[in-house]
Amino acid sequence: MNRPAPRCSTVLYAISVPCAVIGALLWVRGQTSAPPRTYGSFLEAHSYTPSAWRVWSPAVPEERLGLYLIAAGLVLAVVARLFSVRRG
């Protein structure tokens, strides 16, 4: 008879999946984002554009942050799998 997965592995899976999905979305956004535009007037330069919104600091590009989150999600999933195999 199969026992249910331990609560620890369930929590780790619940954290790893959104982490990897958000990382993948950030990585795709970093790959497809256009370079900054040069604006002709003062009002255009200060208007809000969705592409100007930064997720992280300028020191870490979005594609690198996305890769870090994907890696963290994979590591958490492997740890969750190890917990479920070890306890099961």
Q: Where along the chain do its domains lie?
A: 12-32+57-88
The pLDDT of 10-32, averaged and rounded, is 91
pLDDT at 86 over 90: no
pLDDT at 87 over 60: yes
Tens digit of each residue's pLDDT (9 = 90 or more) over 25-70: 988 988 886 655 555 555 555 554 555 566 667 788 888 899 999 9
Sign for the pseudo-dihedral over CA of 55, 61, 67, 73: negative
CB 70 within 8 A of CB 30: no
Confidence tier at 3 by pLDDT (50, 70, 90): low
pLDDT at 49: 53
Residues 64 and 73: their CA atoms lie apart, in Å, by 14
* Global confidence as pTM: 0.68
What are 43's two structure tokens? 């009002």
Confidence tier at 22 by pLDDT (50, 70, 90): very high
Q: What is the dihedral of CA 24, 25, 31, 37, to 10 degrees?
A: -160
